Amino acid sequence: MGYSHYFNQKANLDEQEWINVCSGFSKIIATSTAPLGDITMTESYIAINGQCETFYISKDIEASPYDKELDGMGFCKTRQAPYDEVVTACLIYLYYEVPTKFDISSDGGWAHWLTGRELYTRAFGVTPENILERGKTNVSVSN
């Protein structure tokens, strides 16, 4: 049995959104002390290799490495390995930075995201609300 996070990309990101996402993810990665493998950031995708599955986000739904029949649905099994804090902090960032572009869910609850929430707070100086609850208001943060 695994522990996974799910992110349904509903629309492509525009140039400025992509620049912001790359910048935000870079800040999260630089702030984290979790051991990470290869990290790739290009004009079309970000891949963060941890101790389990690679966390992958693409600018365009069509560029996703996932099965095209999944129509933008992405997932990352972390098994709660140390890099889970980076994955969850990045998902929190997506929720706030591009709120209409992704639906985010997880096998774990908000309590399981504690290290990711703490990392997000260290990186941006903002304590995130529970993004796993439906109906929360999204607020953008500045880089």
The pLDDT tens digits of the residues spanning 1-55 come to 478 999 999 999 999 999 999 999 999 999 999 999 999 999 999 999 988 899 9
Phi–psi pair at 29, nearest 5 degrees: -60, -45
Task: Give the pair of three-digit tokens for residue 137.
Answer: 């208001």
Biggest CA pair distance of the chain:
38
pTM flag (> 0.85): yes
pLDDT band at 62 (very low <50, low <70, confident <90, very high): confident
Closest by CA position to 134, among listed 97, 107, 95, 98? 95
Cα–Cα dist 83/135, whole Å: 28
